[in-house]
Amino acid sequence: MNIGSLLIGSSNVEQMKSWYRAAFSVTENDGGAFAFGAVQLFIEEHSEVSGPNNDAARIIINLDVDDCRALEAHLLTQDVTWVRKVEQMPFGLIGTLADPDGNYVQIIQWGANPESHQD
C-alpha cells in the first residue's frame, strides 16, 4: 500500500497553486496535481473548507530536498512566510514555511551536516 496523493482543500485555489508553482518550481500534471516524487499533491475547492487553516501544525507536508540552502535562497526571493528559518538539527537541515492558506510545508535535507553547507 502506498500514499498516492494528498488533497489540500482551499477556497483560494488559484493563489495556492501559483504559490506552489513559484516556491517549488513545479507544474501540474495532466490530472491537475503537482507531482512530488511518487506522491501527487492536489489543491482543489472543498465544500467544507473556507478561509485560512486554523490548525496549521496538524498535518505538515515534508519535502525531502537535495540542497536545502539552495532552495532557501530561492524561497527568499519569493513571497513566503517563514514559520521556522532553515536551521541545522542533528538529523540535517530543516525549515518550515506557511502557504497562503497557512498550511505548514517543511523543507528537509536529511543527513546534512555543518561541513556540507555554509551558515
Span 9-18, pLDDT tens digits: 999 999 999 9
pLDDT band at 82 (very low <50, low <70, confident <90, very high): very high
Distance CA 65, CA 17 (A): 20
Q: Which residue has the cell 556540507?
A: 116
Span 18-55, pLDDT tens digits: 999 999 999 999 999 999 999 999 999 988 888 889 99
Q: Answer whether 0.75 is exceeded by the pTM.
A: yes
The enclosing H or E element of 34 equals strand 34-36
**Core vs surface per residue 30-51: b (16+ CB within 10 A) or e:** eeebbeeeeebbbbeeeeeeee
> Could you tell me which of 111, 105, 61 has the C-alpha nearest to residue 80?
105
pLDDT over 90 at 113, yes or no: no
The predicted pLDDT at position 118 comes to: 53
For the chain, domain boundaries: 5-46+57-114
Distance CA 110, CA 5 (A): 22
Q: May I ask the CATH class of domain 5-46+57-114? A: alpha beta
